[in-house]
Chains A and B, each alone.
Chain A
Amino acid sequence: MTTTEPDDEVPTRTIRLRVNGRQRRVTIEDRQLLVDVLRHELHLTGTHAGCYNGDCAACTVRVDGRIAKSCLLLAASVDGCELRTIEGISPEGELGDIQQAFWDSDAFQCGFCIAGHLFAIEDLLESNPEPSDSDVRQALTGNLCRCTGYTNIVKAAQLAAQRRRDAVEHT
């Protein structure tokens, strides 16, 4: 019978992160990916681990303001960074405006990939408030959804963009 000895040789360290506005200290194995630290150490399970290959983007988070696939980052590399996960995209119990547009457009089915799509669309609209459908599709090239066929995701992005423009006009 094979027994597995606890591997006490694995190097660890403590990192400091600001996650969704809250300061956190977390002890990690040096080898841990950010996605696994978020899910297993910080219990922020809205960040999903899909492919561990950078293909699907279900693990997307913001790191110091830039969107990133957290399966491609060592947690040790983001020591001291400001993170925002899908849990921090809107106040607890509420939908953010892009989430609401996804809801209103039936833009998701199983929801596994949705964090990546929301962050990608949010990131697009920050730099381009009036995107073409082609701009939206270009913004989603790093995201995979196996349910929707993307059509309603594009519609949701355009709905969110339109609502933001309307809100600006009315202020």
Chain B
Amino acid sequence: MLLEHHGNAAVVGGGTFLLPRMTRHLLEYEHVVDLKDLGLRQITSTDGEIEIGASVSYVDVLESDLLRSNLALLPRMARGITGGRQITQQGTLVGAVCFHFPTTDAPGAVFALDAMVDIHGPDGRRSVPISDFLIDAFVVDLRPGEFVSSMRFAPQPSGGYCKVKHSTGSWPIVTASAVPGPGGSVRITLGAVESLPVVVTVEDPLDRTELKHRVDSAITAPWSDVLAPGSYRADIAAAVARRAVEDLMGVPK
């Protein structure tokens, strides 16, 4: 059906991004395919990898002992997504990544954890790293007839997160996810600051000067919208990154 109606069919996970845009005729599709009866609402651990199905909601992420122990960044991020308890119970992590509205929480956090994206399509299954899957704002690597069935992750027990938003109900202005790298380094993934996540690695995470220099020089095309100009996002990115590092390292606020 997705193949037959390619370009005129949408896949809906939780629907929290898609449906308001369809209501406003910003997006128009004659066919909508809801994944909810495909049995994809599962979080499993297989061969040392954690797999999150396409229908897993944010509240499933928050309630998962498996994720709390093995991918702590995801529940840390899911706690504060835009839209409150209703959206944590409706919205799906995988759906948010597939929609790829850049100034949201999920794409940056999933990017920080090097997700592998499992895609189901007319020619069977294929898997692509998240860094290839996200192509541009609102654009992902899905071919005619394809949808994402799950995302897989290597365990990463530690994760720090910080975001800035200007009101309770606002989309994030900048997000930062911090995970440990080799030799005491820290890898920071900045979300919402460009159309694609921006990755920065710092050898000495407590060296604020190095961190600020790395972040500032990594941002070349900051995202501008009605909530914040790109120059503002670029200005605050280093501070948000530093707070994510401090969250990772347990530095008291």
Contacts and interface: CB of A to CB of B under 8 A. Distances in A.
B227 interface: no
A60 B168 CA distance: 18
Contact of A120 (B14, B23, B86, B90): B86
State which size class the interface on B falls in: 20 to 34
Contact of B86 (A53, A76, A77, A142): A142
A141 B32 contact: no
Interface in A59-76: 60, 66-69, 71-74, 76
Interface string B69-106: 00000000000000111110110000000000000000
B87 A54 contact: yes
Contacts of A119: 86
Nearest to B168: A141
A33 B86 contact: no
B20 interface: yes
Contacts, number: 77
Interface in A123-153: 123-124, 139-144
A59 to B, nearest CB: 9
B19 A124 contact: no
B84 A141 contact: yes
A52 B12 contact: no
A124 B59 CA distance: 13
B59 A66 contact: yes
B16 interface: yes
A142 B20 contact: no
B15 A73 contact: yes
Interface residues of A, number: 28
Given A33-B23, A55-B169, A74 B86 contact: no
Interface in B100-157: none
B34 interface: yes
B171 to A, nearest CB: 11
A77 B23 contact: no
B36 interface: yes
A154 interface: no
A141 B58 CA distance: 15
Nearest to A150: B168
Nearest to A36: B23
Contacts of B169: 55, 141-142, 144
Given A73-B19, A142-B83, 9 more contacts: A33-B23, A52-B24, A53-B23, A69-B90, A73-B90, A77-B12, A124-B85, A139-B84, A142-B169
Interface of A: 33, 52-55, 57, 60, 66-69, 71-74, 76-77, 116, 119-120, 123-124, 139-144
26 contacts: A54-B83, A55-B83, A66-B59, A66-B89, A66-B90, A67-B89, A68-B86, A68-B89, A68-B90, A69-B83, A71-B19, A71-B23, A72-B19, A72-B20, A72-B90, A73-B90, A74-B19, A116-B86, A119-B86, A120-B86, A123-B85, A141-B83, A141-B168, A142-B83, A142-B87, A143-B84
